[in-house]
Chain A
Amino acid sequence: MSKRIVIEPLTKLEGHGKVTIQLDEHGNVASAHFHVTEFRGFEKFCEGRMLWDMPVITTRICGICPVSHHLASVKACEGVLGVEPPAAAKKMRELMHMGQFIHSHSLHFFFLAAPDFIVGPDAEPVKRSIVGVIEKEPELAKKAIHLRRIGQTIVDKVGGRAIHPVTAIPGGMSRPLSHEDRYHLLKEIPTAVELATLAVQTAKRVLQTYAEKLPSLGDFPTMYMGMVNDGSLQLYDGTLRIRDANGQNVDEFEPSDYLEYIGEHVEDNSYLKFPFYKKEGWPQGIYRVGPLARLNVADKISTPLAAAELEEFKALKKDKPISENLYYHYARTIEMLYAVERAKELLEDDEIVSPEYRIKVERKEGEGVGVIEAPRGTLIHHYWADPDGRVLKVNLIVATAHNNKAIDISVGEMAKKYISNGQLSEGIMNRLEMAIRCYDPCLSCSTHAIGEMPLEVLLYSKDGELLDRIWRD
């Protein structure tokens, strides 16, 4: 049976990952690139729809970070309409967002990343999944499932649905958080704190063991971008900060001004554009987003347990940014702990059950930008609407786009390290996959939540002849 059957469905959102490797006359790597299918078709699809439909339609883009699209979208709508939602609505939204961070980060860490480390990078693919973790560390697997359930329950209770939430509407929320739900969610928090702490400890443990076996999954200097509020890590609302490879703050701006700061570079070998920091130009202005970038740009974290972990994290490089891809996993677990602690703060705040959770809005012509830190990095929704509320134009920049060049560079580093005689093997496949997976790009999550990443590697001679092709579904 043709394997093609299995690959094709995976192309339907961001597509499966494709890596092309070009060899020189000695059979060594001349260049290697990472390609993702274009995302823009979705923007066209949205044109002509009504503004208030956008938060519900965009949540369908992805099954793993739908809350981010839902919230970035509703913020963009409110930008168009020129309204600010009531404080209670903002708190409920942030709580929903924390729920998503808890389940998305724990899915990625325990189910996608940890198998490579706990079961081993060279184990057969079927074992390098949560199934292998269950065999090897069943108690850990059970706890991972439990932590995910807590995150999922928060999204379910605040978002109205566990998968594609519906409750955030322009002007606020469609319904309040009930006292009963608040009480039940608070009851789950101590367990969540315990499990997220376990995640951080597991990250430290596996990285320590692993670092001895294989020192690098890619390590190169870039700039970093992430949201902060007065220097503290922010995931829901704040300013965007850009910090350079040496740890100097180079800029901080209001998300709505993103077009002044972020440019998009086009390269022949990729449909997906490469965002960069305009003032530095291309390619000096390449920056990364996501957990590692966010911790690199933040000075501090506002919640106590995560703050202590951040200090330890920062001490590794004496407060300089960490550039090694592998540390994305570690950073992800610290964010998971922050998300749990922040959820607790929000739930303890009486305002979250306030009856003032919505203000009335009027149709209005205009444009609006909604920016949020999705689990994988900065997510930008930008809409233009006519006086009837019809969407005229949409611009989306998703986390995987910001990280596009960094993933491309990582692929190049790994290819050079693991290919020398013009031969591809399962070993190189695993290493490429592990390097790409640090960024948790959408192509692995939206169509293929669990298990191996759909990935195709093409090897070309210096004359452009296809020498080898390996792929996995």
Chain B
Amino acid sequence: MELKRDYPFGRDLSQIKPILIVGIGNILFKDDGIGEYIIKELENLNLPDSIELLSIGAGGFELLYYIEGREKVIIIDAVLTSDPAGTIHRFTPEQLKTNNTASALLHNIGIREVLTLVEFLEKTPEIVVIGITPKDISTYGMELTPELKARVPDIVKMVLKELPVKARHKNYNRIL
């Protein structure tokens, strides 16, 4: 599925949608694709125009360009922890910079560097990372394990709860 995106040239930050929800992960490796699966789910919800949905795949550093100029960024990725598969975590950049567990984010895309560089940009958004403990991220396969699949509705709700009031969906309360 190709995501519709309008990323303006140059630095015309006024044209950028204020809220970005971005999924990170490689869909070739089962649960590693959780970020992209959640984005697909969100696409079906007809979210308001102020929200942009993006799957960044196995890309990492590119995230920086998409973060720039936003008010709020919600990142969805798998995270290796000792919790049972499907556990949902919420991290702030501060926690990511100091917490070893959080630094085990898959795609270890240099998230700390990206978050450091964000401060270096003109407009720093509020950033939240929703991390999901995977079951299998090392065998090839383009579908989620049953454990994670069962958690998809909860992850979607968790993401929607992060939206600022003004960006909430008209059916927000019904979904939650």
Question: Does A5 make an interface contact (CB < 8 A)?
Answer: yes
Residue pair A61, B28 in contact (C-beta under 8 Å): yes
A187 to B2, CA, bound (A): 27
Say yes or no for B138: interface residue by CB 8 A criterion. Answer: yes
Quick check: B32 and A12 within 8 Å, CB to CB?
A: yes
The answer, yes or no, to whether A339 is at the interface (CB within 8 Å) is: no
A42 touches B61 (CB 8 A): no
A451 at interface by CB-CB < 8 Å: yes
Segment from A129-137, A246-254, A372-380 that makes contact with B: A129-137
Chain B residues within an 8 Å CB radius of A449 = 59-61, 109-110
* A134 and chain B: residue at smallest CB distance: B120
* Residues A60 and B26 in contact, CB atoms below 8 Å apart: yes
B121 closest partner in A (C-beta): A145
Closest to B1 in A: A166
Q: Are B113 and A130 in contact (CB under 8 A)?
A: yes
Q: Are B29 and A12 in contact (CB under 8 A)?
A: yes
Known A107-B61, A184-B9; judge A5-B104 contact (CB<8 A): yes
**Cβ of B100 < 8 Å from any Cβ of A?**
yes
Q: Within 8 Å of chain A (Cβ to Cβ): is B58?
A: yes
B60 to chain A, nearest CB (A): 4
Cβ-closest 7 pairs across A and B: A450-B110, A63-B58, A163-B59, A449-B60, A45-B140, A63-B59, A450-B113
Closest A residue to B82 by beta carbon equals A5
Decide if the interface of chain B is mainly helix, strand, loop or mixed.
loop
Please determine whether B57 and A131 come into contact, CB atoms closer than 8 angstroms: no
Q: A161-B3, A162-B7, A163-B57 are in contact. Are A9 and B110 (CB under 8 A)?
A: no
Offer 30 A-B interface pairs, CB within 8 angstroms, sorted by A.
A1-B100, A5-B101, A6-B100, A9-B107, A10-B108, A11-B138, A12-B106, A12-B138, A41-B140, A42-B140, A45-B140, A60-B27, A60-B57, A62-B58, A63-B57, A63-B59, A66-B57, A130-B117, A148-B61, A153-B9, A161-B3, A162-B7, A162-B59, A162-B62, A162-B65, A163-B58, A163-B59, A447-B107, A448-B110, A473-B108
Q: Nearest chain A CB to B108's CB is how many angstroms away?
A: 6
Q: Within residues 94 to 118 of chain B, which ones have a CB less than 8 A from any CB in chain A?
A: 100-101, 103-104, 106-110, 112-114, 116-117
B2 and A160 contact, CB distance less than 8 A:
yes
Give A166 to B101 CA distance when docked, in angstroms. 34
Q: Give the Cβ gap from B68 to chain A, nearest Cβ, in Å.
A: 9
**Which residues of A lie under 8 Å from residue B28 when comparing CB positions?**
42, 45, 57, 60-61
**Binary interface encoding of chain B residues 115-138 relative to chain A, with 1 for a CB under 8 A from any of its CBs, else 0:** 011001000000000000000011
Interface membership of chain A positions 122-151, coded 1 if the CB is closer than 8 angstroms to chain B and 0 otherwise: 000000011100100000011001001100
A111 at interface (Cβ–Cβ under 8 A)?
A: yes
A461 contact set on B, CB distance < 8 A: none
Shortest CB distance A175–B (Å): 11
Whole-angstrom distance between the alpha carbons of A298 and B153 in the complex? 56
CB atoms of A9 and B106 under 8 A apart = yes
> Taking each of B9, B28, B140, which has the highest tally of chain A beta carbons within 10 Å of its own beta carbon?
B9
The 0/1 profile, CB within 8 Å of A marked 1, for residues 1-36 of chain B is 011010101000000000000000011110010000
Closest chain A residue to B61, Cβ basis: A449
B24: nearest residue on chain A (CB-CB)? A63
Q: List A448-471 residues whose CB lies under 8 Å from chain B.
A: 448-451
Task: Give the chain B neighbours of A12 by CB distance below 8 A.
Answer: 26, 29, 32, 106, 137-138
Interface size of A in residues (CB-CB distance below 8 Å):
50
A164 at the interface (CB under 8 A from B): yes
In the complex, the answer to whether B80 meets A163 with C-beta atoms within 8 Å is no
Chain B, Cβ-Cβ closest to A183: B9
**A63 to B5 CA separation, bound complex (whole angstroms):** 19
- Any chain A CB within 8 A of the CB of B156? no
Task: Answer whether residue B56 sits at the interface, using C-beta atoms and an 8 A cutoff.
Answer: yes
B64 CB within 8 Å of chain A: yes
**Which residues on A sit within 8 Å (CB–CB) of B138?**
11-12
Please determine whether B56 and A129 come into contact, CB atoms closer than 8 angstroms. no
Instruction: List residues of chain B with CB within 8 A of the CB of A10.
Output: 108
Q: Contact string, B146-165, partner A, CB cutoff 8 A, digits 1/0?
A: 00000000000000000000
* Residue in B7, B61, B113 whose CB lies within 8 Å of A131: B113
Contacts of A187 in B (CB 8 A): 9
Give Cα A400–Cα B81 distance, bound, in whole angstroms.
Answer: 31
Q: With A and B bound together, what is the CA distance between A467 and B94 in angstroms? A: 38
Report Cα–Cα, A131/B110, bound state, in Å. 11
Interface status of A152 (Cβ within 8 A of chain B):
yes
- CB-defined contacts of B140 to chain A, threshold 8 Å: 41-42, 44-45
Among B70-108, those with CB < 8 Å from A are 80-82, 100-101, 103-104, 106-108
